[in-house]
Structure 1
Amino acid sequence: MKQEDGLVQAMRRRVVRGFVVPRAWLMNRFFLPRRSKNTALLRYAAVLDGQTVNLHAVLPSRTPRPDRVTVVLQRGRKRHHTEANAYEGPAGDVLVDAAVLMGAEVGGVPVDAGMWKLRLRMHAGRRSRSMALLLVEPPVPYEGPTKPMTASRITGARYRVGRTITGAARIVSSDPVPAVEVSKVHMSHAGITVDFRVLGTAVDSPWTEFVAAGRRIREPARLLETGLFRTEVPLDRMEPRSTRPEHWDVVLCQETGPSMRLGRRLHDVRNPRRVFAMRSMAMTPVGRTPMIVQPRYTPAGNLRVTCTRMPEAD
C-alpha cells in the first residue's frame, strides 16, 4: 500500500512539473509582453502581516494622473473596493500605493475563501476606467530569523498573492487551518494555567489532557469569552516519577471531533522555542518533592512543559 501511494505521489509531481514549465513559458513569452502596455505593472505585492495586502504599481506611460483610484477585488459577481493613493513619481510616471486589509472580522474587506482578481479603478471627473494589475515577478520568501506571516494573527485566515496564466495578479484566500492557539501561559506554586483559542473549527464539549510517557491528566476547558478557553492543572499531579525529566504535552480533546495539540501557530518567527522562551521556576507542591518546571515551545510550535526533580531532592 505504501509503495502504491509513493508511486501515485511521484506521478502527481511529474504532472505538476510538466504543467508548470509550459505555463511559465506561455506567461513570460506570450502574455506578459502583450499586456504590459495597457496594464498597471506591480513593482511590489506582498502580504506582510498575514492579513494586509501591500501593493505598489506604476501605470502605463503617458497615463494622466487620475483624481481617485480604488483597488477592486472581484470573484464572480462579488466586488469590493478599497481606496488607493495615486501620485507622480520622480521620473514623471504615475504610481499607485495601496494597503488592503483582508477579513470582515478585523474591519477589512469581507472576502470568503477562493481566488480574487485584483484590478484598479481610476476616476477622472465623471469618467472611470478599469485596468488590470500585472504581476511579472511573484513574491520571493526572504531569509532571516523571521518569515512572512502565512495567516492572520486574529482569525487564522490565510492570504497569498498569486497570478493567472496571463500574468494578472490575484489574491488567494483560504479558511483557517483547524488549530489551537495558545494566548497565555501562567505559572504559580499551585499549578499551570493556559489560555487558548480554537481556530478554523467548532469544538464539541472540549476538555484538555496533559500527556506524558505513560501518564495522562484530564482537566476541563472553561469558556471565558467567545473563542477563548482556559485550562488549569495542579503541579502536584505532574511530579516526576524518577530522576529523569518528564515532558508534558497539552492536547485539546472533544466528544466527536479530532484531538489537537496546543501551541503557537500564528507567528512569523523561524525558531519559536528560542523567541517565545519562558522562564523556569522551582516549585514545591504541598507534600511533594521539589522540582523545576519549564514551559516552552518545541521547534514545531507545540506547547510542552518539562518537570524535573531538583538535584538536592534526591
Structure 2
Amino acid sequence: MTSRSKRPAKTAGGAGRPRRRLRAGAVALRNRLLGVLVPLRGRRAAQLRYAAILDGQTVNLHAELPARAGLPERAEVVLQRGRRRYPGEARVHEGPAGEVLVDAAVLLGADVGGVPVGTGRWRLRLRVHTGRRSRTLPLLLLQPPVPYEGPTKPMTASPVTGERHRLGRSFRGSARVVSTAARPAVEVAKVHLTHAGVTVDFRVLGTRVEEPWVDFVASGRRIEQAVTALGPDGFRVTVPLGEMPPRGSRPDHWDVVLRDRDGRSMRLGRRLHDVRNPLRVFAMRNLAITPPGKAPLIVQPRYTPAGNFRVTCTRMPEAGRTD
C-alpha cells in the first residue's frame, strides 16, 4: 500500500486571507488609477489639502482651486445625492504664493440646524461664482483622513443625534460624505449622587422603547426601577442606595440596563465622546454613606473602559472591625 501524504489543516484565519488579498488588490488598483486620473482631473477640479469631520457632525474643508479658475467672488460647497442638493457657505481667499484657496465648515443634520442629509453617500462639490456666471468643480480627496494619536480621537458620531458621518472618496478620487443612522444606544446625560440614592438622566438613540424600565444588576442580584420620561427620548431613573450594600466583603459592581416590553435590553453608558479613556476623564466623586440599619459603604459611580455606566458599592474596612 502506498501512503498518502496528509494535507495541512486549514487555519482559522485562512478563510479571510483571500478577502484581504482582494481588498489589498483593490486599494492598489485604485491608487494606480488615481495616479493617472488626478493629473488629468486636476486641471478642472479643486484639490483638498485638508478634509476631516472632527466633531462628528461638521465637515471641515481646505481646498485649492485649479490655476485657470481665477479668483471667484464667492463659493459654496454643495452636497448632492440624486436630485437633492444642499449648499453650504465657503470662504475664498488668496494664499501666500497667489494660489486661490477655499475654506468651509458645513454642519450636518437637520436636528442640529445643519444640512438635512439623510443616510447614504453624498457627493461633495464646489460651486464658484463670478458675477452672473457660476461653475461647479469636483473636490478631489487625494488622501483619506488619517487617525491621530493622543488622549482624544475624532468623533465617529454626532454627540447630539448619534448619526454617523465619515469622509470617503469615489473610485475617481472625488470626495463624498457617507452618512448612516444612529446605532441603538442609551447615552447617559447626567448622574446625581446623594446619600439617599443615585439618579441618572439618559437618552435613547437610534430606536424607540415601549414601556421601559431599568434593572440594576450585580452578582445575581437585581433591582428593578421605574423610569420617568423627560421628553420624547429622555428618561430619568433613581435607585435607593439602601438596597445596594454588598452582602459579603467583596465589592458589588452594579451594571445598569434599560429594558422594555418587547424584550430589548441595552446597557447605559457614554459613547458619544472623543476621549480614549472614559474611566479616567469622566471620573465622578465617591460617597461614603450609612444606610439605615446597615453597615457603612463607599459608593463609586464610574464608567468602564468600554464606556458602560457602573456603580460600585464597597463595604468600608472599619465596618468589619470590632474592638
**Which residue matches 1:26?**
33
Q: How many equivalent pairs are there?
A: 311
**Which residue matches 1:189?**
195
For the residues of structure 2 that align with 1:257 and 1:122, how far apart are their CA atoms? Answer: 53
Q: Which runs of 5+ in 2 are unaligned?
A: 1-9
Give the TM-score, by structure 1 length: 0.95
For the residues of structure 2 that align with 1:237 and 1:13, how far apart are their CA atoms? Answer: 52
How far off is 1:227 after superposition? 1.5
For the residues of structure 2 that align with 1:4 and 1:127, how far apart are their CA atoms? Answer: 63
For the residues of structure 2 that align with 1:115 and 1:303, how far apart are their CA atoms? Answer: 34
Q: One-letter code of the match for 1:137?
A: Q
**Which residue matches 2:136?**
130
**31-40 or 159-168, which deviates more:** 31-40
**Which residue matches 1:89?**
95
For the residues of structure 2 that align with 1:41 and 1:9, how far apart are their CA atoms? Answer: 36
CA contact (8 A) 1:194 1:231 kept: yes
**Which residue matches 1:307?**
313
SS in 1 for 2:22: helix
Q: In angstroms, what is the RMSD of aligned CA positions? A: 1.5
Q: One-letter code of the match for 2:285?
A: R
Choose 1 or 2 for highest CA Rg.
2
SS in 2 for 1:62: helix
Structure 1 residues 24 and 207: CA distance shift in structure 2, 3 A: same
**3-12 or 97-106, which deviates more:** 3-12
For the residues of structure 2 that align with 1:151 and 1:107, how far apart are their CA atoms? Answer: 16
How far off is 1:63 after superposition? 2.2
Q: Is 1:269 aligned to 2:275, yes or no?
A: yes
**Which residue matches 1:216?**
222
SS in 1 for 2:68: coil
**Which residue matches 2:83?**
77
How far off is 1:221 after superposition? 1.7
**Which residue matches 1:45?**
51
**Which residue matches 2:24?**
17
SS in 2 for 1:222: strand
CA contact (8 A) 1:289 1:309 kept: yes
Q: 1:154-175 CA distances to partner (integer Å, 9 max, x unpaired)?
A: 0001111111111101011111
How far off is 1:6 after superposition? 6.2
For the residues of structure 2 that align with 1:173 and 1:310, how far apart are their CA atoms? Answer: 49
For the residues of structure 2 that align with 1:251 and 1:12, how far apart are their CA atoms? Answer: 37
1:1-314 matched pairs, under 5 angstroms: 9-27=16-34, 29-314=35-320
For the residues of structure 2 that align with 1:78 and 1:295, how far apart are their CA atoms? Answer: 46
Q: Which runs of 4+ in 1 moved over 3 A?
A: 3-15
SS in 2 for 1:33: helix
For the residues of structure 1 that align with 2:18 and 2:258, how far apart are their CA atoms? Answer: 37
Structure 1 residues 253 and 109: CA distance shift in structure 2, 3 A: same
For the residues of structure 2 that align with 1:311 and 1:190, how far apart are their CA atoms? Answer: 21
Q: Which runs of 5+ in 1 are unaligned?
A: none
Q: One-letter code of the match for 1:260?
A: M
Structure 1 residues 78 and 257: CA distance shift in structure 2, 3 A: farther
Structure 1 residues 167 and 68: CA distance shift in structure 2, 3 A: same
Q: 1:75-103 CA distances to partner (integer Å, 9 max, x unpaired)?
A: 11110011111111111111101000000
How far off is 1:10 after superposition? 4.7
> How much identity, in percent, do the aligned residues show?
63
For the residues of structure 2 that align with 1:205 and 1:5, how far apart are their CA atoms? Answer: 44
Structure 1 residues 10 and 251: CA distance shift in structure 2, 3 A: farther
